[in-house]
């Protein structure tokens, strides 16, 4: 197997015995954007959480950058694999404080000029550094969240519906931003989205999950060309 992330017959059961992922096998291609689509409850978020150690597989193997996920020191794993969420959780205080947090947690500091560069990478001017998080728009807040994931220079970024609660303009900005970041940093991205147009636009590859199984994986246009009846039904909006 090759790829930035390799799954081999991965199963995940919750503590109360619900079989959420059922034998996921596949490779996430390095340096590309792969979107993860599928109906609600398919197991998409669960799959992402297995990639940064928030959850551990019940059986099967996950290799991150050619190393078994179990062999990582958890701190090292979180440095290699960044994650951004729909809610863009932040701590109280200004933008700089939030950007510096990943460094603070390692007993280090973030130089201010580095913070300004990170903001510029996500399309925000340096003057935002001292703004209180409470005063940011939803789109600005998500950009800060993305900038914060870049502080550790991760090789992999996991994005869980990061544009779902944003207006169309902010959504488009973030779409373009992620494609830019993927190219500039050569970072491998897995992006959960419910928006098929977004998946086709931003993703080179797509995976479709349903009821814990990987129904399709390959170039994004397979969302239209797949002969799988469940994929076709999902694309037509018949299942959500
Ligand atoms: N800790 C848990 N204990 C029990 N069930 C869980 C747990 N975490 C998730 N589930 C269930 O597992 C299934 C998959 O959840 P998951 O959040 O991974 O799906 P998803 O595809 O990301 O869904 P959505 O698109 O709605 O966010 C759902 O039915 C969910 O209710």
Q: In this predicted structure, what is the pLDDT of residue 33?
A: 96
Does the beta carbon of 40 sit less than 6 angstroms from any atom of ligand 1?
A: yes
- Assign residue 88 the CATH number of its domain: 3.40.50.300
> Residue 239: what pLDDT?
82
The total of other beta-carbon atoms located within 10 Å of residue 236's CB is 9
Domain count, the chain: 1
Query: pLDDT at position 1, please?
Result: 46
- The ipTM estimated for the assembled molecules is 0.92
With a 6 Å cutoff on the Cβ, whether 45 touches ligand 1 is yes
Q: How far is the CA of 45 from the centre of ligand 1 (A)?
A: 7
Q: Enter the tokens of residue 148.
A: 């914060």
95 belongs to a structural domain: yes
Regarding the beta carbon of 43 and ligand 1, being less than 6 Å apart is answered: yes
Range of the domain at 33: 5-235
18 lines ligand 1 (CB under 6 A): yes
Contact assessment for residue 127 and residue 35, using Cβ atoms and an 8 Å cutoff: no
User: Atom 28 of ligand 1 has which residue's CA nearest to it?
Assistant: 41
35, burial (CB in 10 Å: exposed 0-12, middle 13-18, buried 19+): buried
Write down the pLDDT at residue 11: 98
What pLDDT shows up at residue 2? 65
Domain assignment present for residue 163? The answer is: yes
What is the reported pTM? 0.94
Asked, for residue 180, whether it belongs to a domain, the answer is yes
Could you say which residues of the chain have pLDDT below 50?
A: 1
Angstrom distance (rounded) from CA 196 to CA 217: 15
- Nearest atom of ligand 1 to the alpha carbon of 209: 21
Phi/psi for 33 (5° steps) reads -95, 120
pLDDT at 151: 94
Gap between the Cα atoms of 175 and 85, Å rounded: 15
Ligand 1 mean position to 230 CA, how many Å? 19
- Pocket of ligand 1 contains residue 214 by CB under 6 Å: no
Angle of helix 168-185 relative to helix 138-150, nearest 10 degrees?
Answer: 10
Question: Is residue 240 a part of any domain in this protein?
Answer: no
* Ligand 1 pocket residue status of 16, Cβ below 6 Å: yes
């Amino acid at each position: 197997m090759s790829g930035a992330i390799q799954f081999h017959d991965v199963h995940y059961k919750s503590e109360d015995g619900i079989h959420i992922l059922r034998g996921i096998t596949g490779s996430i291609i390095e340096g590309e954007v792969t979107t993860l689509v599928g109906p609600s409850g398919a197991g998409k978020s669960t799959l992402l959480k297995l990639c940064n150690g928030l959850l551990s597989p019940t059986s099967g193997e996950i290799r991150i950058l050619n190393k078994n996920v179990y062999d990582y020191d958890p701190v090292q794993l979180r440095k290699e694999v960044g994650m951004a969420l729909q809610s863009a959780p932040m701590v109280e205080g200004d933008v700089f404080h939030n950007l510096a947090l990943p460094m603070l947690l390692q007993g280090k500091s973030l130089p201010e000029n580095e913070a300004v560069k990170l903001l510029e990478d996500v399309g925000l001017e340096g003057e935002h550094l001292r703004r209180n998080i409470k005063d940011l728009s939803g789109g600005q807040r998500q950009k800060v969240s993305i900038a914060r994931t870049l502080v550790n220079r991760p090789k992999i970024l996991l994005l869980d519906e990061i544009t779902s609660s944003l207006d169309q303009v902010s959504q488009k900005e973030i779409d373009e931003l992620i494609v830019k970041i993927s190219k500039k940093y050569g970072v491998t991205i897995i992006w959960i989205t419910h928006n098929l147009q977004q998946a086709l636009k931003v993703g080179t590859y797509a995976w479709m999950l349903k009821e814990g199984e990987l129904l399709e994986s390959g170039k994004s246009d397979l969302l239209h060309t797949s002969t799988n009846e469940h994929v076709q039904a999902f694309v037509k909006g018949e299942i959500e």
